[in-house]
Amino acid sequence: MVLHMVGLGLGDERDVTLRGLEAIRGAARVVLEQYTSVLPGVEPARLEALYGKPVEIADRQAVEEGSEGFLEAARDADVAFLVVGDPFGATTHVDLQLRARRMGVRVEVIHNASIMNAVGACGLQLYRFGEAISIVFFTETWRPDSFYDKILANRRAGLHTLCLLDIRVKELTVKALCTGRKEYEPPRYMSVNVALEQLLEVEAARGEGAFAEETMCVGVARLGTPGQSILYGSMAELRGADFGEPLHSLVIPGEVTEFEQEVMDTYRYVPPPSREEDAAAGAESPP
């Protein structure tokens, strides 16, 4: 029997490949991993309607600590493990594949689009990207900045940096952690705006010149959907841009070719006029 690791793509339930859909419909059990990424606005019921069978939701604990259940099931029947984007977009899934093989379970991977390749839509060439980094939500007591060194190294090498932004789905509340009850925080998805605020805070603290408010960046949202948003501007400008609903990502360019620049310029963000500019324009208008 087989563990099918199926990429779902980036848009909605219709982005699954035909081969992926065949594997899902033929599986005895379907498990949707929903903590490394999500299909925003797509409820599991929509997936179930397309697949014609129930979908189990797997959070971080279910995948990292409790996966033996569905891996054992794959010894005797086909199991479909669904991942938003591509199955190998997260190290967790590589580890899952290794654990399955150690158990003697055959694994079949069905690839799909992910943010790692779809980000090329902004005009920056994929072969000119360096190491991708992740930015997590800062808290009052936890403000990690290890990503800074990687951005700095990429920029010094002339390479672009893809910044993957934090999502928090099914996170236990502080009260739940203290009492042992299962009570969860509302889902949170980091925006480009929050990511830029945190980046600039780290630059102010580190001061090594990895970037500045004037550094030109590309913010992307909902790539792979009809309503995707791509905006190119300085860090200061994009902090005030409205990227809309999640999921968001950010790109900090390195050295930019003339061709890349031409494409990015088509996404140039124009900040809305301030109240003072609106008032001045009104005063200059003829009666």
Residue 126 has pLDDT above 90, yes or no: yes
Residue with tokens 């494409």: 263
Task: State the average pLDDT for the chain.
Answer: 91
Q: What's this model's pTM, rounded to 2 decimal places? A: 0.88
Instruction: Indicate if 237 and 125 belong to the same structural domain.
Output: yes
Collapsing DSSP to helix, strand or coil, 161 comes out as strand
CA distance 164 to 195: 9
Q: Say whether both 161 and 55 belong to one domain.
A: no
The closest of 5, 176, 187 to 80, measured between CA atoms, is 5
Same domain for 201 and 84? no
Q: Which tokens sit at 20?
A: 């992926």
Q: Is the pLDDT of residue 177 over 60?
A: no
Q: What is the DSSP letter of 12?
A: S
What average pLDDT does range 105-122 have in this prediction? 96
Whether 283 maps to a domain, the answer reads no
Q: pLDDT per residue over 15-55, tens digit each?
A: 999 999 999 999 999 999 988 888 888 999 999 999 999 99
Q: Whats the size of the chain, residue-wise?
A: 287
- Give the least confident one: 73-82, 97-106, 196-205, 270-279: 270-279
Q: Which residues contact 118 (CB under 8 A, 6 or more apart)?
A: 10, 223, 224
Do 122 and 246 fall within a single domain?
Answer: yes
pLDDT at res. 40 = 81
Name the helix (H) or strand (E) containing 110: strand 106-110
**Other beta carbons within 10 Å of 7:** 24
Rounded to 5°, the CA angle 251-255-258 comes to: 100
Domain count, the chain: 2
| % of the chain surpassing 90 pLDDT | 77
Of 116, 38, 121, nearest in space to 82 by CA: 38
* pLDDT for the residue numbered 180: 62
In this predicted structure, what is the pLDDT of residue 286?
60
Q: What is the CATH number of the domain that holds 17?
A: 3.40.1010.10
What mean pLDDT is predicted for residues 252-257? 98
**Distance (Å, whole) CA 29 – CA 80:** 6
Q: Would you say 235 and 271 are in contact if contact means Cβ atoms under 8 Å apart?
A: no
Q: Domain check: are 125 and 258 in the same one?
A: yes
Q: What is the pLDDT of residues 183-202, one digit of tens each?
A: 667 889 999 999 999 999 99
Reply yes or no on whether the pLDDT at 96 is more than 60: yes
What φ, ψ does residue 284 adopt, rounded to 5°?
Answer: -85, -10
Specify if 280 maps to a domain: no
Q: Are residues 240 and 131 in the same domain?
A: yes
- pLDDT of 28 reads 96
Helix (H, G, I), strand (E, B) or coil at 109: strand
Q: Which residue has the tokens 């997936």?
A: 47
* 246 domain-assigned: yes
Residue 71 lies in domain: 2-113
Q: Are residues 84 and 135 in the same domain?
A: no
Decide if 105 is inside a domain: yes
Map tokens 């090594």 to a residue: 208
Mean predicted confidence (pLDDT) in 93-120: 94
Q: 231-253, pLDDT tens digit by residue?
A: 999 999 999 999 999 999 999 99
Query: What's the pLDDT at 34?
Result: 86
HEC secondary structure over 243-261: CCCCCEEEEECCCCCHHHH
DSSP, residue by residue, 175-233: HHHHH----BPPPEE--HHHHHHHHHHHHHHH-S-S--TT-EEEEEESTTSTT-EEEEE
Bigger pLDDT: 175 vs 89: 89
Tell me the two tokens of residue 44: 């599991």
The answer on 127 and 159 residing in a single domain is: yes
pLDDT of the residue at 58: 87
161 and 31 fall within a common domain = no
Tokens for 14, please give them: 């219709």
Asked if 156 and 251 sit in the same domain, the reply is yes
- Residue 255 DSSP label: S
